[in-house]
Structure 1
C-alpha cells in the first residue's frame, strides 16, 4: 500500500477559463478575452494541484472521468506528486467540465451540474478505505451525498483528521471535521436569514474542530467551541483572478493540518495561499509555492 501525505475526495473536472480585459460586459455588449485555458479544476482538483506544488504527496478520488476529460487530467498530473489511480474512467461519459468567465473582481461559472447531480446514474466513486488508511490527513468535498459522508466516517474510524468545506452544521461532515471552512456563498444559500454570529455559535457548538467563516477579501471569523470568536483580515495583493482562491484556501488548511499548525498560523497560511492564487492566472500553470506564500505570510 503506497503511503501519501494527503487524501482528497471530491470534485475533479476540466475547467475552461476565460480571463477578460475589463469588467464583465453588460447584456448585448462586447467583452475582450485576453487569456483562455483548458486545465484541471474543481475543488479537489485545484486543491491537489496546489498541495503538490507545496511538496505534498497526494491521492485523489471522486468524480468519474469521461472520455473527453480523462486524457487531459492524466496528462496534467503525470509529472506531479498526485496519484490518480483510484479514479474511474467511464467511456460512455463525456466527462464533467465547467466554463468560467473571469474579470478582476468576479468569476462567473457555467456548467451542467444540475443535470449531473439529478441524473439517476451517479457518476462518482465510493471512497476506498485503503486510500484513507494510507494517508496522514484528508480533505473532503460535501457534494457526493452518502459517499462524502462515508469518507468522513472512514476518516473518523481510522483517526485521520480532515478539512471540510461548506457542509450544514447538523451533519457528520461538520461534526467529525478537524477544520471546516464555510463560505459566505454557502451561508447565503443554506441559511439566508441567519445572524452570522449566532450561526457561528451553532457551528462551533457541534464540533471539536476549528470553524472558519470566509467572506472573500473581507473579515474571516474563526474559533472553536467554548472560545471567543477571533477575526483576521485577509492579505491584500494585486488581483489578477479570483478563480480557485477558495479551493486554494482549502488546500492551505489541509497543509496546515498536515504540519500541525495552530489556529492562528492556519488562518494566516491559508489566507496567504489564497492571496498568492489571486495574484496569478491560471493556478494550474502558476500555483502558489511555499516561497510565494511565505513572502506574503511574513
Structure 2
C-alpha cells in the first residue's frame, strides 16, 4: 500500500439531492440527504483509502461540530488522522450543497474563513509536517493556505516526493514544481475569466515542470507537458446521479496513478474513470470507487 500525504481542506459537508432546483417562494422535495467529511482533501482521502492507499491527513483545524463525524468516519479506513488539530474553540467549517442532476450549488463561510485568516486573524490550519512528507511516496496539496501550501511543496521538493495540486495560477510556485497540476472550470473562471481553455493552456504548459490537465466537467479536457503536444481526452460516459465530489475524486485518481507510476495517458484515463464512477452514485463519499470498478469501466470503452 502506497503512503500518501494530503494537505488541505477537510470539512463537514451537508448535501441535499432535490427532485428539481428550488425557485423563489416555491417548495422543492428533498429526495436524499447526507452528512459526511468533505472538502478537496477530505474527499480525496476517502477515495484514496477506497483505492487501497495509506493516507496521512493534514490541513484545516477540525471544529467541535464536526470532530466526532471526522473521527468516526475515518476510524475504520486507511486514513491516519493523528496530525489533525481538533479545536473546540470554534464550530468548524461546513458546507451545504444543493444537488439536482448534473448541477450543484455549494454554500458556506469560506470567504470569511480565509479573509479573516489572511488579514491578521487566526489561521485555523496546520503548518505542513515535514517528517510526514519525508516518509510518504507522494503527496497532494491544496493551494488555499498561501505560504503554508508553498511550504508543503518545498518539503516535497527537498525530500524528492512528487505531488499533485489543483486550481493554481500558471505562474505560481505550486504549479511550477508539481508532478501533476489539475485546473478545473471553476478555477479558470476565478483566475482567468476572460480566457478560454485553449488560450490559457500554453501558459500553464510552459510554466510547469510536470503534467498539466485542464478539465471541463463531462466534456473533452486538455493535457500535456512543457515542450510536448497538446492532448485531449473524452471523459467516460455514465448515467449521472450527482456531480458532488467529481473534481476531488479526479484529483484522488491522479494522486493514486502518480503513486503507482502510471504514464500520462494512463493517469488521465484512470482519473477520468474514477470521477465517472463517483458521479454515477449518491453520495459518492459513502460509496467511493474501488480499483476493480475503475478498471472495469476503462475496459468497457
Q: Shorter-chain TM-score: what band? A: over 0.9
Q: Does 1:104 align with 2:101?
A: yes
Q: Determine the structure 2 residue equivalent to 1:32.
A: 29
The residue number in structure 2 matching 1:172 is 173
Match of 2:6 in 1: 8
**Alpha-carbon separation, structure 2, partners of 1:10 and 1:237:** 29
CA contact (8 A) 1:161 1:177 kept: yes
Query: Residue 55 of structure 2: which of 53, 58, 80 is its match?
Result: 58
Instruction: For residues 83-102 of structure 1, give each alpha carbon's deviation from its aligned partner in whole angstroms, at most 9, with x where no partner exists.
Output: 01000111101111000010
Q: How many residues align?
A: 295
Distance 1:93-1:193 versus aligned 2 partners, 3 A rule: same
What is the CA deviation profile of residues 195-243 of structure 1, one whole-angstrom value per residue up to 9, with x for unaligned ones? 4323111111112200000010011100001111000010010011000
How far apart are the structure 2 equivalents of 1:25 and 1:220? 31
Q: Give 4+ residue runs of structure 1 displaced > 6 Å after superposition.
A: none
For residues 250-269 of structure 1, the aligned pairs below 5 Å read 250-269=251-270
Match of 2:40 in 1: 43
Partner of 2:145: 144
Structure 2 stretches lacking a partner, 5+ long: none
Q: What's the counterpart of residue 289 of structure 1? A: 290
Equivalent-residue separation in structure 2 for 1:118 and 1:89 (angstroms): 21
TM-score by length of 1: 0.97
Alignment partners' CA distance in 1, 2:196 and 2:100: 31
SS in 1 for 2:58: strand
For structure 1, the 5+ residue unaligned runs are none
The DSSP-based 3-state class of the residue aligned with 1:144 is: coil
Q: Residue in 1 aligned with 2:234?
A: 233
Alignment of 1:72-83 (within 5 A): 72-83=69-80
SS of residue matched to 2:285: helix
* TM-score, L = length of structure 2: 0.96
